[in-house]
């Protein structure tokens, strides 16, 4: 298969097309614009639709309409744009529409800046829109995963009839790396529920409205059951040198890459450090963390935020082990050296504790 | 004719089973409400045009949110104001469908104002039914953009004032100024004569879509007796006497005979591409012959972490991309990270490149093995990040001062001058790239040229790039011993 050298943002579009996605509705925003630009170039060439919408809100609603017809469809934006899309994502979750949304996170709050942050964790993983819903969240840390996890996102979206969000950051979106392109998907799943303007589907209804409280409660219960199944089936993570580690560092996206280098350096000095990298942020890899709590003495969570994912790590560990946090904000990305100092400091403390 | 009027159209469900309550034969609308009449006109048109099965009815937020109780076709309920956007997604996905986008005045003219404007301006081949009753009905009779001056609503209890709320919005007139829409008409349904005209207009608006003509829009002045706190008879009289005076009935735009929109034509002519075609479009094919050799290098030059820096326009990012891509073609792992975010300060463009025979963790370069400085600010900014025994490539055409470090190798290359000699100042970056591979021997010239051929499409640029690369390589090779002596 072809190997290309591309930006993470472009890899997203290649993965989407290979997964059979044929429609992209978007709105320009740094640092996600390359996704729309790649879509504008490539979608028409494969018989697909690209349309630059009048707003983020229009874009997500165009995606909503296209998803209702059964088409594989996507949009992409960055933090402030995603805030605007949240109503549409809630509607899609309520109407059980599959769609893929890419969030290339930037600095906030407000206009913030265009540098990488991970401060959308709460708005993406915990909800963001109104109602009792969840979206599957995948967090790539390289261009290859930008391609592969986007393709996987379409599969999961269709499987569960639910929005899937790729949560990434400006660095992973902007950096270029080699990408091995997967084989194109030739058969898409049947969607008998869709409104496809055919005789067979003319009785179908896509809606999130359930006027009677009892009916809406039942709908919500069905959704919760689906979410419970997803929690059992779709946890994804990567562990690096964790088995004998005293200290487990936890990070996703670009942070996991820096942590990996820090862990490798620490190991070279004989220090027992391991990395757990959540690939699915929802469902969150709680069980692997709990398993590691049996052998590790302490945990360190590193994020480009004020400490958002660390809440899920603490919930998973439930007080069994000390959980530390190190965060940078505003687009400041810690260096390997900086994280080494944090790790070494904690190791000393951890040894003193044991 | 009498028989037709008494019959329920086939495009309505026989029993409205989706509607809660005990009576599956009546609608949920209030007595005297305009929606029921408009629904019936639409359903009859669907029957007559034989389009029921391929119709997609888009329900708004508002009283017509329950359109799917009645219309026996595909139904999609959408967020407040967004029907034209959702309809766009539907129609683009299903060019053969007939998309009926149905909205009230609060939904269409207030929260969704931009969506209707833009869908109309794109000339989406859809039919928009706009029911204007000068009020928010479902939420309890609040002011709409179409509420008349002086009209009392629950949010204008003393009557709408132009000073506070502005003037009522004439949406049809506004849309009629646009180039793309093919048909815009305002009608009423206050009596049999007006209903006949409304029937004709709605039928025409749908027929236009069937024929692929483009965006059609019918505004219907309709009564909301409950919201207006009037008897149905008085409500219709108020429309005739007052509302119509501000919202004049009639044709506002008629571009009959317009050509089919490009989108419909394009979609029809496209066939599904084969997997091979898709792969060809998405990525350059790489056969085994494309794996370039990894020349043996001095250990000091192996697995380098580079910073490449200069000012905008010097092709700094491209230099890094060519380097990282040729590393990929030589079966190394490589990453390229552009100057981005806070690092963009100071007017320099820079990128980080890592080339390694192992998996690369952090793509960021802090401690630097190789600095390529194309201008003075780059040298000032980054020379102290270079590790001991690292290498600094200096564009000596633009940097006059000496490198302040004496524990690194310095390679001074007059890259800009050499590029000028080639009559192409833009290739100073490629000259420097040539100097880098010539000096370190890390990558073959063939791999760099192969990388360039993936990026540079025009052949004449390939020729000049090849010359520039060769000149850079020769320069570095020729000057290598002297330069090392100078810095030692």
pLDDT digits (tens, 9 = 90+) for A8-45: 999 999 999 999 999 999 999 999 999 999 999 999 99
Which chain B residues touch A174 with a CB distance below 8 Å? 337-338, 340
Radius of gyration for chain B, computed over Cα atoms and rounded to the nearest angstrom: 35
> How far apart are the C-alpha atoms of B167 and B161, rounded to whole Å?
8
Q: Is residue B198 part of a domain?
A: yes
Which of residues B267, B286, B302 is at a domain's end? Answer: B267
- Per CATH, the homologous superfamily of domain A3-233 is Thiamin diphosphate (ThDP)-binding fold, Pyr/PP domains (3.40.50.970)
> How far apart are the C-alpha atoms of A227 and A233, rounded to whole Å?
10
Which chain B residues touch A202 with a CB distance below 8 Å? 52-55, 72-74
Average pLDDT rounded to a whole number, residues A111-116: 93
- Whether residue B344 is predicted with pLDDT greater than 60 in this model: the reply is no
φ, ψ for residue A276, nearest 5 deg = -110, 125
CB of B59 within 8 Å of any CB in chain A? yes
| Chain segment B40-70, per-residue pLDDT in tens | 999 999 999 999 999 999 999 999 999 999 9
Across the interface, whether the CB atoms of B75 and A205 are under 8 A apart is answered: yes
- Whether residue B184 is predicted with pLDDT greater than 70 in this model: the reply is yes
Strand pairing class (A280-282; A136-138): antiparallel
Of A14, A54, A261, the CB nearest to B115: A54
Among A residues 189-218, those touching chain B with beta carbons less than 8 Å apart: 195-199, 201-209, 211-212
- Whether residue A122 is predicted with pLDDT greater than 50 in this model: the reply is yes
> How far apart are the C-alpha atoms of B448 and A291, rounded to whole Å?
48
Closest C-alpha among B325, B322, B453 to residue A3: B325
Q: Is residue B420 part of a domain?
A: yes
CB distance A64 to A91 below 8 Å: yes
Radius of gyration for chain A, computed over Cα atoms and rounded to the nearest angstrom: 21
Q: Is residue B285 part of a domain?
A: no
Which chain B residues touch A131 with a CB distance below 8 Å? none
Across the interface, whether the CB atoms of B53 and A199 are under 8 A apart is answered: yes
> Under CATH, to which class is A239-353 assigned?
alpha beta
Across the interface, whether the CB atoms of B89 and A23 are under 8 A apart is answered: yes
Q: What percent of chain A has pLDDT over 70?
A: 99
Of B77, B270, B282, the CB nearest to A206: B77
Average pLDDT rounded to a whole number, residues A303-326: 98
> How far apart are the C-alpha atoms of B59 and A68, rounded to whole Å?
13
Show the domain range for B334: 294-487
Domain co-membership, B128 together with B215: yes
Domain co-membership, B238 together with B348: no
Q: Is residue B283 part of a domain?
A: no
Q: Is residue B460 part of a domain?
A: yes
Across the interface, whether the CB atoms of A47 and B271 are under 8 A apart is answered: yes
| Tally of structural domains, chain B | 2
Which of residues B232, B267, B302 is at a domain's end? Answer: B267
* CATH number of domain containing B392: 3.40.920.10
Can you read off the two tokens belonging to residue B404? 């302040």
DSSP element (H, E) containing A44:
none
| Chain segment B76-87, per-residue pLDDT in tens | 999 999 999 999
Average pLDDT rounded to a whole number, residues B164-170: 98
Of B58, B363, B451, the CB nearest to A257: B363
Can you read off the two tokens belonging to residue A143? 């261009």
Domain co-membership, B181 together with B238: yes
Q: Is residue B280 part of a domain?
A: no
Q: Is residue B286 part of a domain?
A: no
pLDDT at A140: 98
* CATH number of domain containing B95: 3.40.50.970
Domain co-membership, B210 together with B261: yes
Domain co-membership, B131 together with B61: yes
pLDDT at A349: 85
Q: Is residue B274 part of a domain?
A: no
Domain co-membership, B167 together with B81: yes
Can you read off the two tokens belonging to residue B85? 């956007």
Domain co-membership, B407 together with B352: yes
Cβ-Cβ contacts under 8 Å between A and B: the total is: 245
Placement of tokens 């040198």 in the chain: A241
Which chain A residues touch B275 with a CB distance below 8 Å? 183-184, 186
pLDDT at A350: 74
Least confident of B202-211, B263-272, B457-466: B263-272
Placement of tokens 């058969």 in the chain: A187
Q: Which segments of chain A belong to CATH 3.40.50.970?
A: 3-233
Domain co-membership, B259 together with B306: no
> How far apart are the C-alpha atoms of A184 and A165, rounded to whole Å?
21
pLDDT at B283: 78
- Whether residue B476 is predicted with pLDDT greater than 60 in this model: the reply is yes
CB of B270 within 8 Å of any CB in chain A? yes
Domain co-membership, B257 together with B302: no
- Whether residue B371 is predicted with pLDDT greater than 50 in this model: the reply is yes
| Chain segment A327-338, per-residue pLDDT in tens | 999 999 999 999
Domain co-membership, B298 together with B423: yes
- Whether residue B270 is predicted with pLDDT greater than 60 in this model: the reply is no
Domain co-membership, B244 together with B306: no
**Cis amide leading into A109 (omega within 30):** yes
The interface predicted TM-score (ipTM) is: 0.96
Which of residues B267, B284, B302 is at a domain's end? Answer: B267
> How far apart are the C-alpha atoms of B165 and A105, rounded to whole Å?
38
Q: Categorize the per-residue pLDDT at B483 as very low, low, confident or very high, splitting at 50, 70 and 90.
A: very low
Strand pairing class (B409-413; B386-395): parallel
With b for 16 or more beta-carbon neighbours within 10 A and e for fewer, the A109-123 pattern comes to eeebbbbbbbbbbeb
Output the average pLDDT for chain B: 91
pLDDT at B322: 96
Alpha-carbon distance values, A240 to A276, A340, A343 (Å) = 6, 16, 15
The three-class DSSP label of residue A50 is: strand
Of B77, B93, B278, the CB nearest to A18: B278
> How far apart are the C-alpha atoms of B63 and B431, rounded to whole Å?
69
CB distance A1 to A183 below 8 Å: yes
| Chain segment A239-276, per-residue pLDDT in tens | 999 999 999 999 999 999 999 999 999 999 999 999 99
Question: Long-range contacts made by residues B260-267, C-beta under 8 angstroms, separation at least 24?
Answer: B260/B212, B260/B213, B261/B123, B261/B125, B261/B212, B261/B213, B261/B214, B263/B92, B263/B95, B263/B125, B264/B95, B264/B125, B264/B212, B267/B92, B267/B95
pLDDT at B486: 38
CB of B339 within 8 Å of any CB in chain A? no
The total of other beta-carbon atoms located within 10 Å of residue B18's CB is: 14
The total of other beta-carbon atoms located within 10 Å of residue B425's CB is: 12
Among A residues 268-327, those touching chain B with beta carbons less than 8 Å apart: none
CB of B120 within 8 Å of any CB in chain A? no
Q: Categorize the per-residue pLDDT at B456 as very low, low, confident or very high, splitting at 50, 70 and 90.
A: confident
| Chain segment A63-92, per-residue pLDDT in tens | 999 999 999 999 999 999 999 999 999 999
Which chain B residues touch A25 with a CB distance below 8 Å? 89
Q: What percent of chain B has pLDDT over 70?
A: 91
Domain co-membership, B56 together with B198: yes
- Whether residue B176 is predicted with pLDDT greater than 60 in this model: the reply is yes
Least confident of A101-115, A141-155, B447-461: B447-461
Q: Categorize the per-residue pLDDT at B263 as very low, low, confident or very high, splitting at 50, 70 and 90.
A: low
């Amino acid at each position: 298969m072809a190997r290309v050298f591309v930006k993470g943002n472009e890899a997203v579009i290649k993965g989407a097309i290979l997964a059979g996605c044929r429609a992209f509705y978007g709105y320009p925003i740094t640092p996600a614009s390359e996704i729309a630009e790649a879509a504008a170039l490539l979608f028409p060439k494969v018989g697909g639709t690209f349309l630059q919408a009048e707003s983020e809100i229009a874009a997500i609603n165009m995606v909503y309409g296209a998803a209702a017809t059964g088409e594989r469809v996507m949009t992409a934006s960055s933090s402030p744009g995603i805030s605007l899309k949240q109503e549409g994502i809630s509607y899609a979750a309520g109407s059980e529409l599959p769609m893929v949304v890419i969030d290339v996170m930037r600095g906030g709050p407000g206009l913030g800046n265009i540098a990488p942050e991970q401060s959308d964790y709460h708005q993406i993983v915990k909800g963001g829109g109104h109602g009792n819903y969840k979206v599957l969240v995948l967090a790539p840390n390289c261009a290859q995963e930008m391609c592969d996890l986007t393709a996987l996102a379409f599969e999961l979206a269709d499987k569960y009839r639910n929005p899937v969000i790729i949560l990434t950051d400006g660095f992973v979106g902007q950096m270029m790396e080699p990408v091995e392109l997967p084989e194109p998907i030739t058969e898409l799943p049947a969607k008998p529920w869709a409104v496809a303007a055919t005789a067979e589907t003319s009785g179908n209804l896509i809606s999130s409205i359930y006027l009677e409280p009892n009916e809406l409660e039942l709908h919500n219960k069905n959704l919760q059951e689906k979410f419970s199944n997803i929690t059992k089936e779709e946890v994804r993570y990567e562990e690096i040198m964790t088995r004998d580690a005293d200290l487990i560092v936890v990070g996703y996206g670009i942070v996991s890459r820096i942590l990996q280098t820090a862990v490798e350096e620490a190991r070279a000095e004989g220090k027992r450090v391991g990395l757990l990298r959540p690939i699915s942020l929802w469902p969150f890899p709680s069980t692997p963390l709990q398993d590691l709590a049996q052998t590790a003495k302490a945990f360190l969570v590193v994020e480009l935020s004020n400490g958002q994912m660390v809440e899920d790590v603490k919930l998973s560990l439930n007080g069994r082990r000390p959980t530390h946090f190190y965060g940078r904000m505003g687009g400041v990305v810690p260096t390997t050296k900086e994280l080494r100092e944090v790790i070494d400091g904690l190791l000393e403390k951890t040894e003193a504790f044991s | 004719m009498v028989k037709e009027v008494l019959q329920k159209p086939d495009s309505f469900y026989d029993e409205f089973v989706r509607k809660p309550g005990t009576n599956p034969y009546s609608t949920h609308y209030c007595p005297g409400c305009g929606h029921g009449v408009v629904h019936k006109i639409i359903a009859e048109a669907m029957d007559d045009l034989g389009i029921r099965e391929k119709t997609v009815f888009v329900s708004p937020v508002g009283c017509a949110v329950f359109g799917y109780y009645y219309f026996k076709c595909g139904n999609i309920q959408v967020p407040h104001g967004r029907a034209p956007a959702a309809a766009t997604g539907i129609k683009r996905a299903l060019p053969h469908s007939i998309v009926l986008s149905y909205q009230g005045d609060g939904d269409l003219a207030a929260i969704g104002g931009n969506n209707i404007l833009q869908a109309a301006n794109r000339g989406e081949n859809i039919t928009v039914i706009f029911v204007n009753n000068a009020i928010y009905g479902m939420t309890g009779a609040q002011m709409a953009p179409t509420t008349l001056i002086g009209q009392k609503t629950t949010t204008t209890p003393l009557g709408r004032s132009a000073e506070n709320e502005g003037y009522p919005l004439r949406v049809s007139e506004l849309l009629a100024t646009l180039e793309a829409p093919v048909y815009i008409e305002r009608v009423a349904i206050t009596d049999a004569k007006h209903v006949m005209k409304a029937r004709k207009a709605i039928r025409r608006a749908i027929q236009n879509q069937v024929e692929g003509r483009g965006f059609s829009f019918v505004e219907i002045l309709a009564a909301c007796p409950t919201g207006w706190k009037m008897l149905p008879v008085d409500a219709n009289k108020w429309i005739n006497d007052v509302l119509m005076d501000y919202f004049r009935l009639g044709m506002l735009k008629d571009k009959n005979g317009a050509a089919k929109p490009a989108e419909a034509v394009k979609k029809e002519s496209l066939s599904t591409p084969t997997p091979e075609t898709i792969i060809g479009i998405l990525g350059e094919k790489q056969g085994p012959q494309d794996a370039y050799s990894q020349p043996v290098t001095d250990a000091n030059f192996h697995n380098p972490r580079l910073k490449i820096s200069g000012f905008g326009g010097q092709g700094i990012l491209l230099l890094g991309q060519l380097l990282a891509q040729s590393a990929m073609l030589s079966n190394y792992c490589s990453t390229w990270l552009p100057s981005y975010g806070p690092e963009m300060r100071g007017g320099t463009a820079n990128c980080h490149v890592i080339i390694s025979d192992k998996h690369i963790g952090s793509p960021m370069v802090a401690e630097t093995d190789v600095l390529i400085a194309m201008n003075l600010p780059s040298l000032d900014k980054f020379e102290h990040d270079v590790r001991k025994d690292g290498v600094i490539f200096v564009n000596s055409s633009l940097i006059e001062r000496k490198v302040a470090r004496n524990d690194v190798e310095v390679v001074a290359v007059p890259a800009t001058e050499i590029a000028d000699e080639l009559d192409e100042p833009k290739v100073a970056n490629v000259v420097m790239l040539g100097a880098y591979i010539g000096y370190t021997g890390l990558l073959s010239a063939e791999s760099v040229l192969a990388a360039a051929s993936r990026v540079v499409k025009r052949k004449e640029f390939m020729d000049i790039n090849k010359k520039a690369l060769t000149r850079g390589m020769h320069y570095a090779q020729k000057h290598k011993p002297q330069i090392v002596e100078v810095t030692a």
